[in-house]
Amino acid sequence: MDGQALVQAVIGLGLGARNREKVDRPALEVSPENLPALAKRLRQDPALAFDMLLDHTAIDWLAEGVFELVYNLYSTVHGHHLMVTTRVPRGSPVVPTVSDIWEIAQWQEREVFDLFGVQYDGHPDLRRLFLEDDWPGFPLRKDYTDEDMLRLPK
């Protein structure tokens, strides 16, 4: 399906999806509560058939006080891409997991938990991935300070 038609089709499903501006591919925004229902529909609907979650990551918008979680989906059946984003507040970043829909999400979500501190509700095994279990803080946040990190001298 073509980019714009795809976005319109998914918005037309009535699951709370909105267009997301300023992305170079079809992108939607959805609220965290509607995310599992939308994700399941995107996987199972034969016209959409997004069977691969290529990538899941997070972006820290410090000025707006949100984490934006990005899901890059791809369908090997139809060959179309879709980016689904959702915003959670930085103070209490809890979002439902999609690891029951795409298995790789289990570890991609662990990586985001490790580096940003976003907690996934219903995740089977939420542990830190790259850093030690007792590492203080979440490094990829914009307000992360670390005395060991050496800054480039001006």
Partner 1 sequence: MTVTIKTLNDLVRPPTAADSPMATQEYFVNMGPQHPIAHGSLRLVLRLDGETVRQVIPVPGFVHRGLEKMAEHLNPRQIIHLTDRMDYLSALMNNWAFSKTVEKAAGIATSARIETIRTLMAELQRLQSHVLWWGVLGMDLGALTAFLYGFRDREIIGRLFEETIGARLTMNYIQPGGVMYDIRADFAAKVKELIKYLTRVIGEYDILLSGNAILQERLRRIGILSAERALSLGCTGPVLRGSGVPYDLRKVEPYGVYDKVEFDVVIGTQGDCWDRYCVRIEEMRQSIRIVEQLIDAVPEGPHMVMKFGAKIKIPEGMHYGHLETARGVLGVLLVSDGKSDAPQRVHFRSPNFNNLWAITAIAPGWRIADIIAIQSSLDLVIPDIDR
Partner 2 sequence: MTDRLPAIVERVPGGAILVTSLDALMNWSRSNSLWPLAFGTKCCAIEMLMATGAPHQDMSRFGAEVARQSPRQADFMVVAGAIVKKMAPRMRMLYEQMAEPRYVMATGSCAISGGPFMYNSYTIVRGVDEIVPVDVYVPGCPPRPEAFFWGLLALQRLIKQGETIGRPGIRRKPVLAALPQGITIEDIREEVRRVLEEENVVDVAHEAHAKIWTERVKQWMAKHLYKP
Task: Report the interface residues with partner 2, using CB under 8 A.
Answer: 130-132, 139, 144, 146-153
The interface partner of residue 16, options being partner 2, partner 1, none and the CB cut-off 5 to 8 Å by kind, is none
Beta bridge partners of 120: 95
The interface partner of residue 153, options being partner 2, partner 1, none and the CB cut-off 5 to 8 Å by kind, is partner 2
Residue 44: count other Cβ atoms within 10 Å of its Cβ.
Answer: 12
Nearer to partner 2 by Cβ, of 22 and 151: the residue is 151
Q: Is the dihedral of CA 48, 89, 68, 58 positive or negative?
A: negative
CA distance 69 to 67: 6
CB of 22 to partner 1, least distance (A): 3
Residue 145: count other Cβ atoms within 10 Å of its Cβ.
Answer: 7
Nearer to partner 2 by Cβ, of 82 and 115: the residue is 115
Q: Which amino acid, one-letter code, is at 57?
A: T
Sequence length of the chain is: 154
- Does 18 bind partner 1 (CB under 8 A)? Our answer is no
The two structure tokens encoding residue 102? 């795409």
The interface partner of residue 148, options being partner 1, partner 2, none and the CB cut-off 5 to 8 Å by kind, is partner 2
Q: Which amino acid, one-letter code, is at 55?
A: D
Q: Which secondary structure element, helix H or strand E, spans residue 84, and what is its range?
A: strand 81-89
Q: In the window 123-152, what residues touch partner 1 (CB under 8 A)? A: 123, 125-131, 133, 139-140, 152
The interface partner of residue 55, options being partner 2, partner 1, none and the CB cut-off 5 to 8 Å by kind, is partner 1
- Does 22 bind partner 1 (CB under 8 A)? Our answer is yes
Among 29, 34, 52, 78, binds partner 1 (CB under 8 A): 52
